[in-house]
């Protein structure tokens, strides 16, 4: 029913949010590895479709992070 659909949406929301967070962490590790071995990090993206998707993922990750902070703050008030 409606409760199951809401539960599925919540699971998908958290799965995507956690995946984006993990991908960002792995990207940071790779970037720091390049900096430590080469002394610099250089990356460019010229494909507008991929760039747009990366911007969407970054904004979704930010929204997910803010949602978690809001939920934690609300839970701490109760």
Q: Which domain holds residue 13?
A: 2-77
Contacts 24+ apart (CB under 8 A), 57-63: 57/20, 57/23, 60/16, 60/17, 60/20, 61/17, 61/20, 61/21, 61/24
What does each of the 78 residues of the chain score in pLDDT, given as a tens digit? 899 999 999 999 999 999 999 999 999 999 999 999 999 988 888 999 999 999 999 999 999 999 999 999 999 997
Report yes or no on whether pTM surpasses 0.85.
no
Q: How many residues does the chain have?
A: 78
The total domain count for the chain is 1
């Amino acid at each position: 029913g409606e409760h199951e659909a809401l539960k599925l949406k919540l699971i998908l929301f958290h799965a995507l949010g956690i995946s984006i967070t993990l991908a960002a962490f792995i990207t940071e590790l790779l970037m720091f590895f390049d900096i430590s071995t080469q002394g610099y990090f250089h990356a460019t993206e010229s494909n507008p479709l991929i760039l747009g998707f990366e911007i969407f993922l970054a904004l979704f990750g930010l929204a997910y992070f803010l949602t978690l902070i809001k939920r934690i703050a609300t839970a701490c008030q109760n």
